[in-house]
Amino acid sequence: MEKRFLLSVIIFLGCSAYAQVQKPIDLVNPFIDTHRSRWFFFSSACRPFGMVNLSPDTDTKESWSSGYLYNSPNIRCFSHIHAWQMSGVAVMPTVGEFKGHLGMDVYQSAFTHEGEVAKPGYHKVKLTDYNVTVELTSTMRVGFHKYTFPKSDESYILFDIGAYLAHGPTSYAEAWKVSATEIAGWEIMERTGRRPKDTPVYFYARLSKPFDKIITWRERKISKNTNPERISGKDAGLAVQYKTEDGEVIMLQVGISYVSVEQAKKNLDAELTHWDFEGVKQDSYNEWNTWLSRIEVEGGTREQQIKLYTDLWHALLGRRVVSDADGRYMDMTTDFPRVKQVRLDSSGNPLYPHHNFDAWWGSHWSLNILWSMVYPEVMDAFCNTMVDMYKDGGLIPRGPAGGNYTYVMIGDPAASFFAAAYNKGIRNYDAELAYEGLYKNAFMGGIRDRAGYEHRKNACSGGMKYYEEQGYVPEERPGMMGMHLTGASMTLEYAYQDWCLAQMAKNMGKEEDYHFFMNRSKNYRNIWNPKTGYMQPRMVDGSWMPDFDPLELTERGGFCESNSAIYSHYVPHDMRGLIKLYGGNAKYTRKLNSNFEKSEPYGFFRTSKNKEGNWTDYGNQPGTGMAHLFNYSGAPWLSQYWVRNVKAEYGDVTPFGGYKDDEDQGQMGALGVLMAIGLFEVDGGAAAEPIYEITSPVFDKVIIHLNRKYYPGKTFEIVTENNSKKNVYIQSAKLNEKDWDKCWFYHDDFAKGGKLELKLGAKPNKKWGVKVLPPSYD
């Protein structure tokens, strides 16, 4: 314990007095917006990107409105996997008459928020029906439970291995007694419409006290066979029984793996060899503090500080590690499962973890920017994961689940992810192989040709034939299958992704490819209708889609999870070209400003209930760059104004607000961080020479600690003068003590470290930041 304490002191030496008084984990509030959670949204006992994401589950059916919901009255179990299309290993302590075989509807327990604690790496809650206090923490691959029981001859710990969890049922499961303190087993997650193959998860569990008895069940009947210490089948489960004294503590450790039971045991042995629960909890706190402290802030309100660090926590949480401690992982990209191995260093240690994640769709305005600035090693790990999947299955993925290709959403958003990484010098992966895979994805037969969740072998609903031949993807194409079939969205996103490939090709010396993709990136112009003044879907014969409504949110409107009013501003790579289509800076500024004025009464949030507010949307990805676009039209003061207003609208720190809609594994959290610190990249950081646009931060000081393995500088500071709720407008600026009259600066200046000083005021300075607008398209 002394060594751990000294390490935590060393980590925080040099931090501000503020940070020494209150650590970032003390400001994270995991309960924010948990009244309508999503399965992967809430993971309290979890390390950064942890394979184990241990937390209470109040609701266990469906991917949405599941996991931990603040207003739900009962806890159904404590499960170990809360990931994109992944779940598993449900555990529950009970007391009294045995009901484990009857299912969660029967054995669930009421709980109380009184005394409940949730912090990064820890959760404490009381099951009031059983008078059991549950505490949870974890390592990367091991869940650690601490149960304080009442006096009883009938205390149980249930392993409900056949339970239905979130995305679908468990198709088959098996568990068995290894010893009087050890249980092992495996579960098969039944395939879903998104994850196309049955996917196994394995576990190996240790208990701190030998159990008295084992009870097994299958299909709601307690087993009475000749081998009660082993159970298999559908809807199967196993429980261990104890006699407990009042206040007796029994602890449980559960190691998991997607490879085998043996690997689950190896993970347990590698990461947890003792029963010091408090020590593991403190280690988790220290690890989270190390990650979260890469960004330090001073000033702002306490609520703004809480929201910042909770946003940052989300950005480091949702996209899970799926490789074992030795670097092995399960590849499900081909007809048969195969165990693969990540690259190892000279000592035999994994160079990076292999990850599970939802699509990068929209991450160019969130994770791509934040991670490349503050956590470049994370970008490297995900780039390596995607390159490994290309070697395994022949495609750079959009979003893998348990080693499966899922074809989630549309296009090839990995193009912007790789371009941002490569062009910022994040290159500890096979970049040539990555580019090869991205190039393949940009043509017929690549991943762009698969519409959302289109799993058939000869996929073509992504419309690349039309995009290559006609320069746009039409609506109502023959033979369409899958979801998200909207051709207008595809056209705009393909054009942006072409530009991203061009920028990567430019820095890789691929001149011919650079010119080809630059030329094709202009295809967004092919769906601009000058008569309506919107991006408008077109039909196969070239005609405009009839009955066009720019506020229509359903796929009848031609846009994916959005509408034309929002997507008509989706040209991140060529804002100069887009603004010209609108008639110039002044006309574009008026149009965009009108969008914000119309949507402000509706909280900058689109809804199907009232179209009048559907002019902007900060609840889903396609519209999350809009407030920053004024920087490109010569009105940076409006970016400053609207970014601060949007940020305030999404500043709730209660369980009943804060994100409003789709917090996709940290994307909205990362966006919240960027808006709070006043830096952004409309083009997603993918430019050959990346830049950052400047808005006004909500804090007096922001210190970003740079990773010295990637960037030469030590810190980049942003300091404001006269910051307040009303003083949102930049009056003047200095960069490294020199007067700065641009609303942007190069990533190279950021990477070298330095200081950006901003003087703020209550009235806009319309002369600042307008002489040299941010570069676009080159």
Residue 322 maps to a domain: no
Q: How many CB atoms lie within 10 A of CB 483?
A: 18
Cβ-proximal residues to 96 (8 Å cutoff; 6+ apart), any chain: 130, 152, 154
Pair 710, 744 in one domain: yes
Residue 615 maps to a domain: yes
Q: Where are the beta strands (DSSP E) in 348-439?
A: 400-401, 404-405
Residue 766 maps to a domain: no
CATH number of 181's domain: 2.70.98.10
Q: How many CB atoms lie within 10 A of CB 739?
A: 9
Bridge partners of 37?
A: none
What is the per-residue pLDDT for 21? 57
Residue 768 maps to a domain: no
**Helix, coil or strand: residue 397:** coil
Residue 282 maps to a domain: yes
Pair 245, 301 in one domain: no
Alpha helix locations (H) across 425-483?
431-441, 464-470
Indicate the helix (H) or strand (E) that contains 147.
Answer: strand 142-149
Q: What is the pTM of this model?
A: 0.95
- pLDDT tens per residue across span 76-112: 999 999 998 999 999 999 999 999 999 999 999 999 9
Pair 668, 756 in one domain: yes
* CB-CB contact of 267 with 141 (8 Å): yes
Pair 313, 265 in one domain: no
Provide the token pair at 695. 């808005």
Pair 263, 132 in one domain: yes
Structural domain of 127: 2-292
List, run by run, the mean pLDDT of 10-residue segments along the chain (778 residues).
37 39 91 91 95 97 91 97 94 97 97 97 98 98 98 98 94 96 97 92 98 95 81 96 98 98 98 98 98 98 98 94 98 94 96 93 97 98 97 94 92 98 98 98 96 90 96 93 93 98 98 98 98 97 95 87 96 98 98 97 84 91 96 98 97 93 88 98 98 98 98 98 97 98 98 98 98 91
Pair 267, 308 in one domain: no
Residue 269 maps to a domain: yes
Pair 532, 667 in one domain: yes
What is the per-residue pLDDT for 609? 74
Residue with tokens 């092992």: 184
Pair 358, 244 in one domain: no
State how many domains the chain has: 2
Provide the token pair at 390. 């290309």
Which DSSP string do the residues of 222-258 spell out, in sequence order?
A: E--SS-TTEEEETTEEEEEEEEE-TTEEEEEEEEEES
Rounded to a whole number of angstroms, the distance between the first and last alpha carbons of the chain is 55
Measured CA to CA in angstroms, residue 362 lies from 388, 411, 560 at distances of 23, 11, 12
* CB-CB contact of 755 with 713 (8 Å): no
Alpha helix locations (H) across 620-758?
636-649, 667-677, 747-751
What is the per-residue pLDDT for 271? 98
* CB-CB contact of 651 with 307 (8 Å): yes
- pLDDT tens per residue across span 470-498: 999 999 999 888 899 999 999 999 999 99
| AA letter at 109 | S
Residue 251 maps to a domain: yes
CATH number of 393's domain: 1.20.1610.10
**Helix, coil or strand: residue 715:** strand
Pair 313, 218 in one domain: no
Pair 622, 673 in one domain: yes
Pair 283, 344 in one domain: no
* CB-CB contact of 49 with 377 (8 Å): no
Residue with tokens 């992504």: 462
Give which of 185, 172, 186 is closest to 218, Cα–Cα: 172
Residue 671 maps to a domain: yes
**CB burial string 333-342: b at 16+ within 10 A, e below:** beeebeebeb
Long-range pairs of 188-191 with CB within 8 A, sequence gap ≥ 24: 189/86, 189/87, 189/88, 189/402
What is the per-residue pLDDT for 358? 87
Q: Is the dihedral of CA 688, 694, 699, 700 positive or negative?
A: positive
* Sheet of 744-746, strand order: 679-680, 691-694, 744-746
* CB-CB contact of 600 with 591 (8 Å): no
Pair 537, 473 in one domain: yes
